[in-house]
Amino acid sequence: MEEYTDNPGIFAPDLLGCGLDHGASAWNPDEQGLFFPLSWTEGIETLLNDKVGEEGCTVVVQGGLAPVGILLASRNPQKVKRLILTSPPTHEDIVNAVNEDELKRNYDILRSNVPGSFAFRLLEMRSLIKLFSDLFLFEDGCDDRWLDETQRE
């Protein structure tokens, strides 16, 4: 990335609660509530308008942030010159809303003491991060630098 100097900036929004090592605040859904793509996009637009000049930027989003990236690009064509989606959900998953009952069930499970805390501990395991990263993010597999960075978060 050090050689990437003659092109517009790269903007890669983090998932809520991620990026702590880079100055983000911890996210507690009981305090801040849940965010949906449009409200998340509106928050990011404030940052784009403040930090991105007329040269625009490239937005890179991964996985479930694809709807946010798509909204950013479609609502801000003068700022978002390019959009890169890595491991996006299927088109069907992007355009069809998740049933409210399913959202509530998933939220309640993830917020529960036993299954929720177990799921988060499992998802934070280095071996699982490596498996996911190798399957969906890196053609030749991720390196230790990537794994170290993800575990700092």
- What integer pLDDT is reported at residue 76 of this predicted model? 94
- Determine the pLDDT at residue 6: 64
Looking at this protein, which amino acid is placed at residue 146? W
pLDDT at 97: 83
Distances (CA, A) of 81 to 59, 73, 104, 122, 142: 8, 8, 36, 37, 28
Terminal Cα-to-Cα distance of the chain (whole angstroms): 20
Percent of the chain topping pLDDT 90: 22
Write out pLDDT tens, residues 122-132: 878 899 989 98
Query: Does the reported pTM lie above 0.85?
Result: no
